[in-house]
Chains A and B, each alone.
Chain A
Amino acid sequence: MLENLLTHSAFEILTLSDRAAQALAENPWEAAGYTLLALGGTGAFLSLLGMALIYVERKVAAHFQCRLGPMRVGWHGMLQSIADALKLLQKEDIIPEKADKLLFFLAPVFSIIATVLALIIIPMSPSLQVVDLNIGVIFISAVGGFGVLGILLAGWSSNNKWSLLGAMRAGAQFISYEISVTLSLLVITLLAGSLQLSEIVQSQQDGWWIWRGHIVGVVAFFVFIISSTAELNRPPFDLPEAESELTGGFHTEYSGLRFSFFFLAEFINMFIASALGATLFFGGWMPFHIGGFETFNSIMDLIPPGLWFAGKTAFIVFLMMWVRWTFPRLRVDQLMRLEWKFLLPVGFINLFAAATIVLTKLYFFPGQ
């Protein structure tokens, strides 16, 4: 097992599920170990990442607003998220009397399951990926659509008009913006020639798609970042939970642990969207390469792939936070207008352009 980890070449992808499958023939316990590692690792990663992201969000927001943010719990408030998590766990679990109790209970679970499912196929480094599906992009779209179910159920089962309004907004918004996300994913699929995320990463060995695919790549990236922000319901697209309009929208009636599920799912979804953006447009864990410049490329290779991935993801996360703390919220009809009258036509035109570019091999380094 250890030899395996040490000896494989730099960019040979070895997912946990592959390892478990390999080991199954010789030693079922090892396979079980890998599976447990995958499960436990994902769970631990989920909660740690959630807390880290919440801390980062608060710090970034604070500095945008010329203040310090959390400073008291631990060094520079590092333990603030843990304190908050403990507080949330201790809170009384309130279920409204007239709520649909089963659905009310299930909604946050759906929400978090969709998040976990999306998280496991993200290639974080050649040796750190849980599953590598050959239909990765389709899987992401499918699971992303699943997440809205949790929100719709939450709004419906709360038996609160504000929650229902929020849920309906969420439904309309997610389904609309899903189209644009998928259109921009398709552009990269066309360029890379694969639906498998690891292959998409490897197709960027000569350069990331955002600059190899020049105009098409850049347009697709912006469509992706706008519409995935909308899918994450982060400002300026946070209409489903619009604090000042709907008093919290779909999660108005939730408190304590159930609320923290939504909260966690929201932040992990932000990570997933950023990681996906990094994977598709910035080469994932692939270092910055320019086709043909071997010396430059090998210097770049000195930085471990995991670091590349983390850096790129952090960049997109920061971008989203920047937008959040700067922009006000759109109105619901403006939101729809932006999608159906602007992003959707742009996405389609971009897809046609991408197809043309792939056919005529107009992108950089087509031959390699």
Chain B
Amino acid sequence: MTEKSPQDNKHPEKPAQQPSTPESSAPKPTPPPAPAKPEEQVEKPPQPPELTLKVCAAISECKPYSAASDCPTVEVIPENLVKVLTALRDNQDFAFSMLMDHTAVDRIEDGKFELVYRLYSLTTLSMLLVSTKIPRDKPIIPTVSHLWDIAEWQEREVYDLFGVLYDNHPDLRRVFLEDDWVGFPLRKDYKDDFMLTLDIDSLRE
């Protein structure tokens, strides 16, 4: 019935070298020394972190993030987004092989959506935030789902909740809400009949 006996295969073989992810070659017991700790606190004065400067030096389209962020952050214009992300993924110095997270922030006071792409590198264990701003009234941005598989669904989530349209997306559909839902709930100006507009401060008094 079976070619494998359960006893001799109780544990899988120790990891074979995975070519794409050098991190995996680290044998189990020894901890990787965590070369760059991106989560470290950023000083208040606008001195960008080392990684931001390195990225900006390597890829001319990037510039350091203007606002405060606790993580190395670069800013790009929407037209250059795909180019920059491709470069960041394929450049061996950075090798951001994981798109850890992608979401949007509604900057209603500027009339913009800020889209953030959180990249993670398995080689340097560093994290980079790529930020781009698109106008709220024309929220179209090219998709990056051909770069990372997961982007397809992260973008669907952002479309669902913010209404950001992704150009060339293979399957742009709502992900949580129904297909015929009207409006995009995470926008700051979203109104719904069922929403409670309770003033909590007045309740406290």
Contact residues of A with B, CB < 8 Å?
Answer: 334, 337-338, 342
Q: B1-18, CB under 8 A of A: which get 1 and which 0?
A: 100000000000000000
Which residues of chain A come closer than 8 Å to B1, judged between CB atoms? 334, 337-338, 342
- 4 nearest A-B residue pairs (beta carbon): A338-B1, A342-B1, A337-B1, A334-B1
Tell me the B128-147 residues at the A interface (CB within 8 Å): none
Across the interface, name the chain B residue whose C-beta is closest to A342: B1
4 contacting pairs across A/B (C-beta < 8 A): A334-B1, A337-B1, A338-B1, A342-B1
Across the interface, name the chain B residue whose C-beta is closest to A330: B1
Across the interface, name the chain A residue whose C-beta is closest to B2: A334
Query: Measured between alpha carbons, how far is A334 from B2 in the docked complex, in Å?
Result: 10
Query: Measured between alpha carbons, how far is A158 from B89 in the docked complex, in Å?
Result: 52
Which residues of chain B come closer than 8 Å to A342, judged between CB atoms? 1
Query: Measured between alpha carbons, how far is A338 from B1 in the docked complex, in Å?
Result: 6
Query: Measured between alpha carbons, how far is A334 from B1 in the docked complex, in Å?
Result: 8
Tell me the minimal C-beta distance from B5 to chain A in angstroms: 16
Which residues of chain B come closer than 8 Å to A337, judged between CB atoms? 1
Which residues of chain B come closer than 8 Å to A338, judged between CB atoms? 1
Query: Measured between alpha carbons, how far is A337 from B3 in the docked complex, in Å?
Result: 13
Q: B95-112, CB under 8 A of A: which get 1 and which 0?
A: 000000000000000000
Across the interface, name the chain B residue whose C-beta is closest to A343: B1
Query: Measured between alpha carbons, how far is A337 from B1 in the docked complex, in Å?
Result: 8
Tell me the B1-53 residues at the A interface (CB within 8 Å): 1
Across the interface, name the chain B residue whose C-beta is closest to A226: B1
Q: B44-79, CB under 8 A of A: which get 1 and which 0?
A: 000000000000000000000000000000000000
Query: Measured between alpha carbons, how far is A139 from B1 in the docked complex, in Å?
Result: 31
Tell me the minimal C-beta distance from B4 to chain A in angstroms: 13
Query: Measured between alpha carbons, how far is A95 from B202 in the docked complex, in Å?
Result: 56
Tell me the minimal C-beta distance from B69 to chain A in angstroms: 46
Query: Measured between alpha carbons, how far is A342 from B1 in the docked complex, in Å?
Result: 7
Tell me the minimal C-beta distance from A339 to chain B in angstroms: 11
Query: Measured between alpha carbons, how far is A89 from B199 in the docked complex, in Å?
Result: 56
Query: Measured between alpha carbons, how far is A132 from B1 in the docked complex, in Å?
Result: 38
Tell me the minimal C-beta distance from B6 to chain A in angstroms: 13
Tell me the minimal C-beta distance from A348 to chain B in angstroms: 17
Across the interface, name the chain B residue whose C-beta is closest to A337: B1
Tell me the minimal C-beta distance from A344 to chain B in angstroms: 13
Which residues of chain B come closer than 8 Å to A334, judged between CB atoms? 1
Query: Measured between alpha carbons, how far is A301 from B1 in the docked complex, in Å?
Result: 41
Across the interface, name the chain B residue whose C-beta is closest to A338: B1
Tell me the minimal C-beta distance from A144 to chain B in angstroms: 24
Tell me the minimal C-beta distance from B140 to chain A in angstroms: 40
Query: Measured between alpha carbons, how far is A337 from B2 in the docked complex, in Å?
Result: 10
Tell me the minimal C-beta distance from A223 to chain B in angstroms: 13
Query: Measured between alpha carbons, how far is A100 from B185 in the docked complex, in Å?
Result: 45
Query: Measured between alpha carbons, how far is A137 from B1 in the docked complex, in Å?
Result: 29
Tell me the minimal C-beta distance from A230 to chain B in angstroms: 13
Query: Measured between alpha carbons, how far is A76 from B121 in the docked complex, in Å?
Result: 61
